A and B are shown apart, each in its own frame.
Chain A
């Protein structure tokens, strides 16, 4: 009797993010009743961490807005009630100047200071369009061939370091810890975290002697 609706309700009870499913009208009503009962138990006050993290994220987002003409950011807050505006404008400008905070996380390359090329898989085993996990101990990742080009990204989630799993049909790399997922090119696909984790670092990769090789640190 572990229907999707049942699982949904159990997720609600456990405080987890419930999984989507195609609900019938009855199931939707059941979920609605569960939400109603559930939300009585909690005022739904946001956590301080969430409020602070979202504030920071908004500051980043607003700072990233293009400001082609003069005062692009200032335009965001324009107040028409003159008296209030007079009192507020100082603060507005002040804010416009200070929101240039940390930039969004950028993609990086993982290149050991010294290392060696290690064969991971035969070139023929990585046909065009395919994605394959590999594990070389110190380095785990996913190989991908697209348009003949081979590339590789790390298999370690940039959030808390959990090992990602390949969902081949969806072409996604899923984190088992917080339901974060990345695209096979390493870019972030989905996350439920207050701050978006960085994309997956790329690894150095080449084809040589009929093998796909990855550049890894030397054995300790």
Chain B
């Protein structure tokens, strides 16, 4: 089949560069793979590490790792799940290297990936809201101020009428409790 493809291409005019996705099923070349997937992989990584510098590094690593050996004999869905599998490994290695624990994984995403596009950050917003809702008022408030309101620690402390030291303790405890709530939701 590959040979047939090779012989057929000679009759074809060169495509204009920039738009390579052909039909519904296959990518034309690595750029098409890249353009179609870079946003998805980056969003996934961001949802898993929570900061852009690392999300960019990990996205870079995924494509550097995955593109070289990639043969685009595969369907779009297969390419996507291959990238996702690579992303999963890259993320696991990242946590092993940085905190020594699998803080987040791409396991759930892997199960529901093919051949549909990966749902992007599918559960985070709903889950974050649910976690916040489950916290005591002051815990919820400090986390809202800091995580959703982009307040500095001092601003959050002022807003809540407490000292910076208190705000710090509050944030620490609130996060711990949020972690417990999150754990409960998972199981």
Taking beta carbons and an 8 Å cutoff, which residues of A are in contact with B? Answer: 1, 6, 9, 11-13, 15-18, 20-23, 25-47, 50-51, 54-55, 57-58, 61-62, 65, 75-95, 98, 192, 194
Q: A29-B180, A37-B128, A87-B23 are in contact. Are A46 and B15 (CB under 8 A)?
A: no
> What CA separation (Å) do A75 and B73 show in the bound complex?
10
Give the dominant DSSP class at B's interface. Answer: helix
What would 5 A/B residue contacts be, using CB atoms closer than 8 Å? A22-B100, A41-B150, A57-B60, A77-B29, A79-B28
A24 CB, min distance to chain B CBs, angstroms: 8
Say yes or no: A86 contacts B175, CB within 8 Å.
no
Q: Is the CB of A79 within 8 A of B5?
A: yes
> Binary interface profile of B, 57-71, with partner A (CB < 8 Å = 1, else 0)?
101100110011011
Chain B positions near chain A (C-beta within 8 angstroms): 1-2, 4-6, 8-9, 11-15, 17, 20, 22-23, 25-26, 28-31, 34-35, 38-39, 42-57, 59-60, 63-64, 67-68, 70-73, 97-101, 103-104, 120-121, 124-125, 127-129, 131-132, 143, 146-148, 150, 168-169, 171-172, 175-176, 178-180, 182-183
- Shortest B181–chain A CB gap in Å is 8
Inter-chain contact A44/B23, CB cutoff 8 Å: no
- Docked-complex contact B38 and A51, CB < 8 angstroms: yes
In the complex, the answer to whether A90 meets B9 with C-beta atoms within 8 Å is yes
Q: How close is A23's CB to chain B, nearest CB, in angstroms?
A: 4
Tell me which residues across on chain B come within 8 A of A91, comparing CB atoms.
Answer: 14-15, 17, 20, 28-29
The answer to whether A84 and B29 touch across the interface, beta carbons within 8 angstroms, is no
Knowing A80-B5, A86-B9, say if A38 contacts B57 (CB, 8 Å): no
B26 engages A18 (CB within 8 Å): no
The answer to whether B20 touches A25, judged by C-beta atoms less than 8 angstroms apart, is no
A33, B99: Cβ atoms closer than 8 Å: no
Inter-chain contacts of A76 with B (CB < 8 A): 30, 68, 70-72
Majority SS at the chain A contact face: helix
The answer on a CB contact under 8 Å between A38 and B147 is: yes
Q: A15-B52, A23-B103, A46-B43 are known contacts; what are 16 more A-B pairs with Cβ within 8 Å?
A: A13-B146, A21-B99, A22-B99, A35-B47, A38-B51, A40-B129, A42-B46, A44-B45, A44-B46, A54-B56, A58-B63, A61-B64, A77-B28, A79-B72, A81-B1, A88-B29
Q: A35-B49, A44-B121 are in contact. Are A87 and B179 (CB under 8 A)?
A: no
Q: Which residues of A contact B68 (CB under 8 A)?
A: 61-62, 65, 76
Q: Which residues of A contact B179 (CB under 8 A)?
A: 26, 29-30, 32-33
